[in-house]
Amino acid sequence: MMRVNGVEIEDTFAEAFGMWGARLVVTAETLEWARTAGAAATGFATSIIGCGCEAGINELVRAQDTPDDRPGIIVLLFTMSRAAMEQQLMLRIGQTIMTCPTTACYDGLPDGEERFKVGGKLRYFGDGFQRSKLLDGRRLWRIPVMDGEFVVEESFGAAKAVGGGNFFIMAGDLEHALAAAQAAVAAMRGVPGVVMPFPGGVVRSGSKTSSRYKGQHASSNTPYCPTLRGFEKSDLREGENAVLEIVIDGLTSDAVAEATRVGVVAACCDGVLRISAGNYGGSLGQFKFALHDLVSA
Amino acid sequence: MTCISCAGAALDRGGMTLTRRESSPIPVEADSICPDRFIGLNEADIARLPAFYGRRQVTLGDLFEIEGVGATDITVTGDLAAVKKIGHGMTMGRVTVEGPVGQHTGARMTGGELVVRGDAGDWLGAYMAGGRIIVEGNAGHFVGGAYSGDTKGMRGGTILVKGDVGREAGGRMRRGLIIVLGDTGEFTAARMLAGTVFVRGRLGARAGAGMKRGTVVAFGEVAELLPTFRYTCTYRPVFMRCYLRRLRETGLVAEGELEGELFRRSIGDLTNGGRGEVLVRAERE
């Protein structure tokens, strides 16, 4: 049996799926405004089940590392299809980043396999007064707005990515589960190329892909609900009274693997009894992340 | 079958040096001095390439001593003030001109890099569509301009002149970037269609006359703007930060050589739609 800090690491694996990922560089006059734009752009983007995409802020970028020498953030956005990616980029850049004071938005995946015209469509907001500049082969649109100009790149790249990496934290009580989850997320935020799309990076309403109700595609993950022990088949052990899940989306499987490793190790805190992971028996997902392999690597 | 660029790259990367045999004010047309024309040729072959000495057709070998191997890195030295069309139409490689050079240098080029370690004559980079020209001295009139009869001037690429330029720099320019670290003459970016001109020194009179679109940026003094330009606002254009950052990254300008955050924006020329702009650097109050 594998243990880290006395916490059992279950011999199982997380099953993840192929998605499309985009990387946006959002800059603003101050880091605070860049963060505000990022928070708006990644709001209501926890799960593709109901939000159309999964998104999060990946990292802060120093002014000297952005295209316009201003402080910025990296936003990662994941969808299941190319069509959904185009739609989500248009909606989120147009409705949240463009509306936020002083921002600009640049493509962070110039070598992506697919390109989606975003600035090239948003430009029409300029009502004929938009201007473009071609800088080293990249076209930037300058759309007049009330605080000056919104600069947005003509098109954004997207690449095949990985979504749905995960692990569960089983603790004796909610306080210890929360502390462990927060420690894990804090550690994982240092890994480039991944986001944890749920609120604060943590999800409590893990789901299974079946329901007793017609038309309901996802339902409560009953085997992991401590309040249902005794009614339903439970995967929880004696003493496990709170479970939190961390879901990981990444631009590459290596990034997801590294984030999982970092997160699992960081989550092995006092009061945590076991770390597990969600899968469908290995029959559905293209990517498998075995916890033992990752932690012992 | 390989393309010309690949063939050039496949050649050895040694240098080829052409040294002018004599000084003469008689114009020489030497559009053969171009990496594309040297591909696959040895010294003897290159010496047989044609040139014009006044009205007389001669060979490069008559005018230049030629030594070295390779097509992708050419150095031209000697008295070149009357030598025209060096690098004309080049698509790749690098040409370095040691000293002042004549007219039409780098005209119609579409790729590669041309460096002039001195002054350049008129029509530098005229009608160019790509690549990069760096002039360490001054340049004459019509930098990146359009030839008579052409509706467009420069269509892409970058020209950097570290000194002054004459009149009508960027005339009828369609795309690309011209940076002048010194002063410009009259009618900079006249009838410009699009593209960008940066001027660190004094922007000459009547800049942007007849411009349709495009951007002229003055980092220093401005002689006067035509009355057909209308002031709109003083603001911080984010796209300028992108340009300045990229220019520093590519080494075209040094840290602190071109700076500015706040600019006064005027639109014009109102006689031609008024969709162009002149940005003049403003100081923080």
Q: A95-140: per-residue pLDDT in tens?
A: 999 999 999 999 999 999 999 999 999 999 999 999 999 999 999 9
Q: Which of A131, A141, A142 to mutate to test the interface with B (most CBs of B within 10 A)?
A: A131
B200 lies in which domain range?
A: 119-281
Give Dmax (Cα) for chain B.
65
If residue B242 lies in a helix (H) or strand (E), which one and from where to where?
helix B238-249
* Structure tokens that stand for A163 in this block: 């979504």
* Set of chain B residues whose Cβ sits within 8 Å of the Cβ of A33: none
Lowest pLDDT segment from A42-56, A198-212, B4-18, B27-41: B4-18
Query: Which residues have a Cβ under 8 Å from the Cβ of B102 and sit 6 or more positions away?
Result: B27, B28, B80, B81, B82, B83, B84, B85, B86, B121
Provide the strand spans (E) within chain A: 2-4, 7-9, 13-27, 54-61, 72-79, 104-107, 114-117, 131-135, 138-145, 148-153, 155-171, 194-195, 207-208, 219-220, 242-250, 272-276, 287-290
Query: Which residues have a Cβ under 8 Å from the Cβ of B274 and sit 6 or more positions away?
Result: B230, B267, B268
> Is the separation of the CB atoms in B275 and B213 below 8 Å?
yes
Q: What is the ipTM of this complex?
A: 0.90
pLDDT digit string (tens) for B256-268? 889 889 999 999 9
Determine the pLDDT at residue B71: 86
B44 occurs within a structural domain: no
Q: Which of A61, A135, A145, A146 to mutate to test the interface with B (most CBs of B within 10 A)?
A: A135
pLDDT over 50 at A43, yes or no: yes
Residue A69 has its nearest CB partner, among B235, B237, B241, at B241
* Set of chain A residues whose Cβ sits within 8 Å of the Cβ of B179: none
Q: What is the dihedral of CA B20, B26, B27, B29, to 10 degrees?
A: -50
Determine the pLDDT at residue B6: 47
Residue B238 has its nearest CB partner, among A68, A134, A135, at A68
Determine the pLDDT at residue B1: 38
Nearest to A103 by CA among A132, A143, A131: A143
User: Would you call B241 and A70 a contact, using CB atoms and an 8 Å cutoff?
Assistant: yes
In the structure, what pLDDT confidence band is assigned to residue B272 with cuts at 50, 70 and 90?
very high
Determine the pLDDT at residue B114: 98
Distance (Å) from the alpha carbon of A208 to chain B's nearest alpha carbon: 47
Residues of chain A with CATH 3.30.70.520: 2-15+161-296, 19-159
B248 touches chain A (CB under 8 A): no
Distance (Å) from the alpha carbon of A67 to chain B's nearest alpha carbon: 6
* Structure tokens that stand for A207 in this block: 């789901």
Average pLDDT over residues B78-104: 97
For the domain made up of A2-15+161-296, the CATH class stated in words is alpha beta
* Structure tokens that stand for B69 in this block: 């191997």
B168 occurs within a structural domain: yes
B68 occurs within a structural domain: no
Determine the pLDDT at residue B12: 46
pLDDT over 70 percentage in chain A: 100
Distance (Å) from the alpha carbon of B245 to chain A's nearest alpha carbon: 7
Determine the pLDDT at residue A231: 87
> Is the separation of the CB atoms in A27 and A33 below 8 Å?
no
* Set of chain B residues whose Cβ sits within 8 Å of the Cβ of A136: 246
B237 touches chain A (CB under 8 A): yes
Determine the topology of domain A19-159 in CATH.
Alpha-Beta Plaits (3.30.70)
Average pLDDT over residues A174-196: 97
Nearest to A57 by CA among A83, A29, A34, A80: A34
pLDDT over 60 at B8, yes or no: no
Determine the pLDDT at residue B70: 85
pLDDT digit string (tens) for B161-195? 999 999 999 999 999 999 999 999 999 999 999 99
DSSP A95: I
Query: Which residues have a Cβ under 8 Å from the Cβ of A223 and sit 6 or more positions away?
Result: A208, A232, A233, A234, A235, A236
User: Would you call B237 and A142 a contact, using CB atoms and an 8 Å cutoff?
Assistant: yes
pLDDT over 70 percentage in chain B: 94
B242 touches chain A (CB under 8 A): yes
First to last CA, chain A: 16
Nearest to A172 by CA among A241, A77, A100: A241
Determine the pLDDT at residue B13: 55
* Set of chain B residues whose Cβ sits within 8 Å of the Cβ of A104: 238
* Amino acid, res. B60: L
Determine the pLDDT at residue B285: 60
B89 occurs within a structural domain: no
In the structure, what pLDDT confidence band is assigned to residue B123 with cuts at 50, 70 and 90?
very high
Average pLDDT over residues B56-71: 94
Residue A67 has its nearest CB partner, among B196, B235, B245, at B245
In chain B, the number of structural domains is 1
pLDDT digit string (tens) for B197-210? 999 999 999 999 99
Secondary structure tally for chain A: helices H, strands E: 7, 17
Nearest to B264 by CA among B214, B200, B217, B198: B217
pLDDT over 90 at B222, yes or no: yes
B30 C-beta neighbours (distance < 10 Å), count: 28
B191 occurs within a structural domain: yes
B114 occurs within a structural domain: no
pLDDT over 70 at B9, yes or no: no
* Set of chain A residues whose Cβ sits within 8 Å of the Cβ of B241: 68-70
Determine the pLDDT at residue B11: 47
B259 touches chain A (CB under 8 A): no
Average pLDDT over residues B54-71: 95
- Note the helical H segments in B33-143: 35-38, 43-47, 60-63
Average pLDDT over residues A147-169: 98
pLDDT over 90 at A60, yes or no: no
Determine the pLDDT at residue A117: 97
Q: Which residues partner with A104 through β-bridges?
A: A27, A151
Lookup result for tokens 């990985």? A162
* Amino acid, res. A137: G
* Set of chain B residues whose Cβ sits within 8 Å of the Cβ of A70: 238, 241
